[in-house]
Amino acid sequence: MAFPLGRPARLAVVASGRGTNLAALIAAFPPGGDEAEVALVVSEKASAPALERARGAGVEAAHLPWDTREAFEERLHGLLAARGVDLVCLAGFMRVLSPAFVDRWHGRLLNVHPSLLPKHRGLHAQRQALEEGVRESGCSVHFVDAGVDTGKVIVQRRVPVLPGDDEEALAARIRTEEHVAYPEAVRLVLRGEVTP
Ligand code: GAR
């Protein structure tokens, strides 16, 4: 399958937490949207606010428990296939998917990370930026490959690191840019303008 599809794309969002990126994606690609619609939201956490947001927007929300990575991935793949999902957006999903799963979804699996990749990969990206003393940070939306935050970058947006910033202040400034960058990256991929 290659983009563009010639019909509205069906998106799935996988999220572990509060889901502000999910909200931005639903706002950009609402149910019944012309270009794409968020058709499914999945979380490994039953209590994730992301699931509540999805339900509130009239989007199917599924809790898939993380018993083992293999079991989670089998269930996730089955659900994505059953719902005819074209593109999967990881949005604050705090687990690492296996190379086998990533390979199955090659070119159709995106992630947002709170740094200017390749800088500050992995956990606590904002803390890494503050500890390094950089004057600028930002966010990256990228294709997921078998590494951690190593796939091809699609969109980056920059923010200043300001005197007195703590992790939460920097994270909030970066998140605001993520909400612009993620829909932009999804559009580029759906239009076939960026490929892995
Ligand atoms: C976002 O800042 C995202 O970049 C980050 O989690 C936050 C989720 O926010 N992801 C990672 O750190 C992945 N390693 P949200 O739940 O409000 O969208």
How far is the centre of ligand 1, averaged over its atoms, from the C-alpha of 15 (Å)? 8
Q: Say whether pLDDT at 1 is over 80.
A: no
State the chain's mean pLDDT as an integer.
98
| 13, 14, 16, 20: residue to mutate for ligand 1 pocket, most atoms within 8 A of CB | 20
Cα-based angle 3, 93, 66 (whole degrees, multiple of 5)? 110
How far is the centre of ligand 1, averaged over its atoms, from the C-alpha of 92 (Å)? 3
Kindly state the percentage of the chain with pLDDT values over 70: 100
pLDDT at 175: 98
**pLDDT tens digit sequence for 25-55:** 999 999 999 999 999 999 999 999 999 999 9
**pLDDT tens digit sequence for 95-129:** 999 999 999 999 999 999 999 999 999 999 999 99
The model's confidence at residue 196, banded by pLDDT at 50, 70 and 90, is very high
CB atoms within 10 A of CB 65: 12
Once rounded to an integer, what is the mean pLDDT over residues 80-90?
98
Catalytic residue among 113, 120, 142, 179: 113
pTM value surpassing 0.95: yes
pLDDT at 42: 98
Q: Which helix (H) or strand (E) holds 188?
A: helix 167-190
CA distance 83 to 196: 24
CB of 112 sitting under 6 A from ligand 1: yes
Amino acid at 161: V
**pLDDT tens digit sequence for 128-144:** 999 999 999 999 999 99
Q: Look at the block and give the residue holding tokens 């090659």.
A: 106
pLDDT at 52: 98
**pLDDT tens digit sequence for 3-30:** 999 999 999 999 999 999 999 999 999 9
